[in-house]
């Protein structure tokens, strides 16, 4: 009997593996597909690969400012796709090699919990094997959601997973349905690689998420307009017809489009339909119910990642997995705390967020003051020709303690981390202002954004 069976080798399962192996546990892994899960194979990592390429394309018109005179260049998305495969292949192999070196068994197949200590693994040839474990961690992730009238066929109407698995060349014209994170990230990528992109979003803004302030959505929408990404807000795809290899689509506002592909990016749902036969409790949306220790209604069975009702982020899966393994085997149990979850989005701008937005604070009855600074005058950003964007720091009004931070622009996804620590430590604007920041750095924008509150405004309002 294994100490622990890990079902699903995505970012949750991977982190659980690392933690368990370091704790000296005897573990087994069940994975039906490639190691690394969606994050490594179809989402976070390949997206950031393509985004690096897209951002480099954005950079090319500026390189002559550095005396780099490029005669001409072509874009070949297939080569980028191959590069992506190489990058994720390297990372997957390093994971395989680690498991091999640690002699950790990997059962290739679909896992189903058939007893509180037993997982049945159904291999691709239909044969079944049953393995036993003292503890079980479930982390089988999520699958793309569809909308009633839009049926992914893997050819004309594709999901974000189809995009990463199969799309070795880009369509000339695409309709992206859903202006959330994945929709905005892939729209930017396709736009920079030469596709004419239409994106529809049923809400009144791109990135319609509580952690994204309205002004950030608008800032991005302006940039999409400059890039000639056709954005349709408060709009949905009403109907479409496939004819002679083209898709004729009609939007809810009456716009008619002819495109080569429809990319569906309307969210994800937990992959829990056929996960057990023993009655692990789920909510009405199919999320597995866990307590604060990540424990299901079976005391030795834990769950993490996209199958539980917490932010669908790879690092949240990893965090929960680590917590779960700790809570299984250590005396001291720890509760999940999502208050300092960093968020980042890589579209036409890098966008980072941590803590509360002004809108969220207001809805909680917290009065706020904010500190703002644009990258316009940040010397490092100017040196890099990347001076678009801004930082906004949100403080509780009376205490002037930091409660949230949003950044748009270069380095946003890294700079949210010191701000997370600052929120945790209850730093005031004055304390943040008094840190010594390296000059020139992007991070010193924090010192500038706190100047008004810490010392006083330059100009009276």
> What part of residues 331-350 is at the interface with a copy of itself (CB under 8 A)?
340-344
Q: Which of 61, 81, 59, 84 is nearest to 72 (CA)?
A: 61
Nearest distance from residue 39's CB to a copy of itself, in Å?
Answer: 7
Among residues 157, 158, 201, the alpha carbon closest in space to that of 181 is found at 201
**77 or 135, CB closer to a copy of itself?**
77
Taking CB under 8 A as the criterion, the residue among 7, 16, 27, 80 binding a copy of itself is 80
CB 28 within 8 A of CB 107: yes
Question: Judged by CB under 8 A, which of 1, 61, 66, 172 binds a copy of itself?
Answer: 66
- Shortest Cβ distance from residue 153 to a copy of itself (Å)? 26
* Token duo for residue 212: 């994204």
Return all residues near 319 (Cβ < 8 A) that are at least 6 apart: 15, 336
Binding segment for a copy of itself (CB under 8 A), chosen from 114-122, 138-146, 294-302, 448-456, is 448-456
For position 97 contacting a copy of itself by CB under 8 A, the verdict is no
In angstroms, give the least distance from the CB of 29 to a copy of itself: 15
Side-chain-side CA neighbours of 239 within 13 Å: the count stands at 2
The nearest distance, CB 200 to a copy of itself, in angstroms, is 27
User: What span, in angstroms and rounded, lies between the C-alpha atoms of 176 and 179?
Assistant: 8
Rule CB under 8 A: say whether 100 interacts with a copy of itself: no
Residue 33 or 414 with smaller CB distance to a copy of itself: 414
Which residues, 376 to 415, sit near a copy of itself by CB under 8 A? 377, 379-380, 382-385, 411, 413-415
Binding positions for a copy of itself, 284-323, rule CB under 8 A: 313-316, 318-319, 322
Residues 6+ apart with CB under 8 A from 64: 70
- The two tokens of residue 141 are 């992730």
429 CB contacts (<8 Å, ≥6 apart)?
Answer: 371, 393, 395, 400, 402, 450, 453, 454
What is d(CA 446, CA 393) in angstroms, rounded to the nearest whole number? Answer: 8
Question: Among residues 148 and 436, whose Cβ is nearest to a copy of itself?
Answer: 436
By CB under 8 A, what part of segment 28-57 binds a copy of itself? 39-40, 44-45, 48-53, 56-57
What residues from 230 to 289 belong to the interface with a copy of itself (CB under 8 A)? none
| CA 81 to chain CA centroid, nearest Å | 20
In the complex, the smallest distance separating the C-beta of residue 422 from a copy of itself, rounded to whole angstroms, is: 7
Which of 119, 416, 429, 449 is the binder for a copy of itself (CB under 8 A)?
Answer: 416
């Amino acid at each position: 009997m294994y100490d622990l069976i890990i079902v699903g080798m995505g970012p949750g399962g991977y982190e659980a593996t690392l933690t368990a192996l370091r704790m000296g546990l005897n573990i087994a892994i069940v994975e039906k597909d490639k190691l690394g899960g969606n994050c490594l194979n179809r989402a976070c990592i390949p997206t950031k690969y393509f985004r690096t390429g897209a951002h480099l394309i954005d950079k090319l018109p500026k390189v002559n400012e550095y005396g780099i005179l490029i005669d001409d260049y072509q874009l070949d998305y297939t080569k980028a796709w191959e590069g992506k495969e190489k990058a994720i292949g390297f990372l997957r192999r390093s994971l395989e090699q680690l498991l091999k070196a640690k002699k950790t068994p990997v059962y290739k197949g679909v896992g189903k919990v058939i007893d509180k200590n037993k997982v049945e693994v159904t291999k691709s040839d239909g044969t079944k094997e049953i393995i036993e474990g003292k503890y079980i961690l479930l982390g089988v992730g999520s699958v793309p959601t569809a909308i009633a009238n839009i049926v992914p066929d893997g050819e004309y109407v594709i999901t974000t997973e189809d995009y990463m698995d199969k799309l070795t060349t880009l369509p000339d014209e695409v309709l992206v349905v859903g202006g959330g994170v994945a929709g905005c990230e892939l729209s930017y990528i396709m736009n920079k690689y030469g596709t004419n992109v239409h994106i529809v979003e049923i809400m009144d803004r791109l990135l319609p998420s509580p952690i994204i302030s309205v002004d950030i959505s608008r800032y991005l929408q302006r940039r999409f307009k400059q890039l000639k990404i056709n954005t349709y807000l408060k709009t949905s795809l009403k109907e479409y017809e496939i004819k002679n290899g083209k898709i004729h689509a009609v939007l809810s506002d009456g716009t008619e489009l002819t495109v080569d592909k429809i990319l569906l990016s309307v969210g994800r749902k937990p992959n829990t339909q056929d996960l057990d036969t023993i009655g692990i409790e789920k909510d009405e949306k199919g999320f597995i119910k866990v307590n604060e220790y990540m424990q299901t209604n079976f005391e030795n069975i834990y769950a993490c990642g996209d199958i539980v009702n917490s932010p669908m982020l790879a690092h949240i899966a990893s965090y929960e997995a680590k917590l779960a393994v700790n809570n299984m085997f250590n005396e001291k149990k720890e509760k999940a705390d999502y208050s300092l979850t960093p968020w980042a989005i890589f579209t036409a701008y890098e966008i980072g967020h941590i803590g509360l937005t002004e809108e969220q604070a207001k809805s909680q009855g917290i009065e706020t003051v904010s500190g703002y600074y644009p990258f316009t005058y940040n010397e490092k950003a100017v040196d890099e020709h990347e001076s678009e964007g801004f930082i906004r720091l949100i403080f509780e009004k009376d205490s002037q303690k930091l409660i949230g931070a949003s950044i748009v622009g270069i380095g946003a996804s890294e700079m949210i981390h010191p701000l997370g620590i600052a929120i945790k430590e209850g730093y005031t604007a004055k304390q943040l202002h008094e840190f010594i920041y390296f000059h020139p750095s992007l991070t010193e924008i924090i010192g500038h954004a706190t100047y008004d509150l810490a010392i006083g405004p330059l100009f009276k309002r």
